[in-house]
Chains A and B, each alone.
Chain A
Amino acid sequence: MKAKGSVFKYGDNVDTDVIIPARYLNSSDPKELAAHCMEDIDQEFIQKVKEGDMIVANKNFGCGSSREHAPIAIKAAGVSCVIAETFARIFYRNAINIGLPIIECPGAAREIEAGDLVEIDFDSGLITDVTSGKSWQGQAFPEFMQRIIQAEGLINYINSGKTDSK
């Protein structure tokens, strides 16, 4: 499994209130949520983002509320992966559960710059910044996690009967 796209870069403690403000939580429709994704931190994000693009941020990405609407909005906006130094724990769990790839890699998170073209190989965990020529070894995605992502979420994965422990 691979991803390639250009990067939107943010700082520390990007919280779920800026990822998807609560004023839009009266909807749970992914497309409607995506239309307001990152609105309170970067008004241009939703106009500029293209299928496959990535978000790179520093520490504690996704802190705050448990709203699964946050990774849902990011995924529905077309983002192929989020790279950060660290993730808040509920966001981390939610992202995997809904099938949004995320990688903790402090080196890549610090050095990748906005607008860089980045390629990720989820089998090996290799992150390559095509623009700068640098690369970093992130954690490889275990097979079951790749299957959750391919099934577009935990529930579909469970239903597909492909769990290891049946």
Chain B
Amino acid sequence: MGMTMTQKILAAHAGLDQVEAGQLIEADLDLVLGNDITSPVAIREMEKMHTSGVFDKDKIALVPDHFVPNKDIKSAEHCKCVREFACKHEITNYFEVGEMGIEHALLPEKGLTVAGDVIIGADSHTCTYGALGAFSTGVGSTDMAAGMATGKAWFKVPSAIRFCLTGKPSKWVSGKDIILHIIGMIGVDGALYQSMEFTGDGIASLSMDDRFTIANMAIEAGGKNGIFPVDDKAISYMKEHAKKPYTIYEADEDAVYEAEYTIDLSSLRPTVAFPHLPENTKTIDEIKEDIKIDQVVIGSCTNGRLDDIRTAAQILKGRHVAKGMRCIILPATQAIYLQAMEEGLLKSLIEAGCVVSTPTCGPCLGGYMGILAAGERCVSTTNRNFVGRMGHVDSEIYLASPAVAAASAVTGKISGPEQLEKGVIER
């Protein structure tokens, strides 16, 4: 029986010729990662284990990114715990403030995630690396501890859903709109326990940043992983960044899929997920009422990459954020920050009245740097709009692309970039 791309990667890492959906396997790990929230719990568990150390100091990545630069004393203690562990075990890929970034933007940029890898991370958005053709999935701290100690993890081989993407998206439709459309279609548990495998000639028109965004939000449909085939764009990205060899796996012609969807990218429109679930989607054209907003956040592991900052700057350049609006921009890594500076993007954004933050997950999970008060509304390029996610339980989050977020910052209400271009909305 044919195997999916995910199944082939898992089989190879379990030393098996063939695996099938539902089979329990033990796989060798190419990378185990954690952040400042999840690693302290993993470190505590690992220290309980009768083990001498980590399985491979080069195959562990520790990235303090959620509450750093330290937001309070307790966060500082967590970061100190991670730093001391990294030092004690001589972890090669520990990234201190100054060289860090949001983990899922940072690790591909540093060339630590490549096609064919099996990666676990104690962070649910670890599925991001599927954009490069890796199998990567989020786990908890105990699995991270066992992974750091043994270099292995057990998995139930997932079945898969295939999403065949065709056509080319229009100007203001990005990876974010594509994944929001898919989550709106299948629901927040539509891919529960399954792989989301993306195929089709439409992929060629998607940038790597679009693909990272799409794979990143597979978890928001309940998916175990999201994965893309490895094409010329992915190869050239890895040639530029990768620090290790990659392996390309392709799905068999007769691979079995539980369901298949064909999506014509040219038919998609800018899409917004309303509170309080990522599946509550509407296209920008379906939003008839004025939804006034208080804050815009452009950043996160979902949409804090260079494409995203460029889009925001393109829209905000020469315009100004609405009176009373807070527009917070968080480039996801130091390299993105620097590049955005060199291209003059930060200047345009600051002149437009935005604030630019150091890389941090901060506001996405209601940590700091943009918490919402009761009754406030935020358009955010992040990934979750659950109750209380960014602050008070009576605040509201609308998930959208950087283009919609930037346009909304200008008008003060949820707006598409086309409305600005056409001058439909007067400032």
How many Å lie between the Cα of A68 and that of B320 in the bound state?
Answer: 42
Minimum CB distance partner of B155 in chain A: A93
Total residue contacts A-B, CB cutoff 8 A = 126
Residues of A within 8 A of B182 (CB): none
Contacts A26-B71, A90-B124, A90-B140: A159 and B49 contacting too (C-beta < 8 A)? yes
Q: At the interface, yes or no: A155 with Cβ under 8 Å from chain B?
A: yes
Minimum CB distance partner of B361 in chain A: A22
Residues of B within 8 A of A65 (CB): 123-124, 365, 384
Stretch touching chain B among A12-20, A106-114, A118-126, A128-136: A12-20
Minimum CB distance partner of B187 in chain A: A60
Q: Quick one: which of A114-159 are within 8 Å of B by CB?
A: 153-156, 158-159
Residues of B within 8 A of A52 (CB): none
Q: At the interface, yes or no: B389 with Cβ under 8 Å from chain A?
A: yes
Q: At the interface, yes or no: B277 with Cβ under 8 Å from chain A?
A: yes
Please give the distance in Å from A144's CB to the nearest CB on chain B. Answer: 12
**In the complex the two chains form, is B366's CB within 8 Å of A22's CB?**
yes
Please give the distance in Å from B70's CB to the nearest CB on chain A. Answer: 9
**In the complex the two chains form, is A64's CB within 8 Å of B142's CB?**
no
Contacts A90-B124, A90-B138: A17 and B365 contacting too (C-beta < 8 A)? yes
Q: Interface readout for B129-159 with A: 1 if CB under 8 Å, 0 if not?
A: 0000000001111110110000000000000
Minimum CB distance partner of B37 in chain A: A25
Identify A23's interface contact among B121, B123, B224, B366, CB under 8 A. Answer: B366
Minimum CB distance partner of A71 in chain B: B140
Residues of A within 8 A of B193 (CB): 89
Number of interface residues of B (CB under 8 A): 47
Contacts A93-B143, A97-B140: A88 and B366 contacting too (C-beta < 8 A)? no
Residues of B within 8 A of A86 (CB): 189, 192
How many Å lie between the Cα of A66 and that of B138 in the bound state?
Answer: 6
Q: Quick one: which of B25-82 are within 8 Å of A by CB?
A: 37-38, 40-41, 44-46, 48-50, 66-67, 71-72, 74-75, 78
Q: Interface readout for B384-403 with A: 1 if CB under 8 Å, 0 if not?
A: 10111100010000000000
Contacts A17-B389, A18-B388, A93-B139: A159 and B48 contacting too (C-beta < 8 A)? yes
How many Å lie between the Cα of A59 and that of B187 in the bound state?
Answer: 12
Residues of A within 8 A of B49 (CB): 155, 158-159
Residues of B within 8 A of A23 (CB): 366-367
Residues of B within 8 A of A25 (CB): 37, 66-67, 365, 367
Q: At the interface, yes or no: A40 with Cβ under 8 Å from chain B?
A: yes
Residues of A within 8 A of B72 (CB): 26
Residues of A within 8 A of B298 (CB): none
Please give the distance in Å from B393's CB to the nearest CB on chain A. Answer: 5
Residues of B within 8 A of A89 (CB): 192-193, 222, 224
Q: At the interface, yes or no: B122 with Cβ under 8 Å from chain A?
A: yes
How many Å lie between the Cα of A69 and that of B365 in the bound state?
Answer: 14
How many Å lie between the Cα of A68 and that of B38 in the bound state?
Answer: 8
Q: At the interface, yes or no: A78 with Cβ under 8 Å from chain B?
A: no
How many Å lie between the Cα of A92 and that of B150 in the bound state?
Answer: 22
How many Å lie between the Cα of A60 and that of B193 in the bound state?
Answer: 11
Q: At the interface, yes or no: A1 with Cβ under 8 Å from chain B?
A: no
Q: At the interface, yes or no: A63 with Cβ under 8 Å from chain B?
A: yes
Please give the distance in Å from B318's CB to the nearest CB on chain A. Answer: 36
Contacts A40-B388, A67-B37: A97 and B143 contacting too (C-beta < 8 A)? yes
- Which 10 A-B residue pairs are closest in the complex by CB-CB distance? A94-B140, A26-B74, A97-B142, A68-B140, A60-B189, A22-B365, A40-B388, A66-B124, A68-B141, A66-B138
A-B contact pairs, 26 of them (CB 8 A): A13-B188, A15-B384, A15-B387, A17-B389, A23-B366, A25-B37, A25-B365, A26-B67, A59-B189, A60-B192, A64-B384, A65-B384, A66-B38, A66-B138, A67-B38, A68-B122, A88-B189, A89-B222, A94-B140, A94-B142, A97-B140, A97-B142, A153-B142, A155-B45, A155-B145, A158-B146
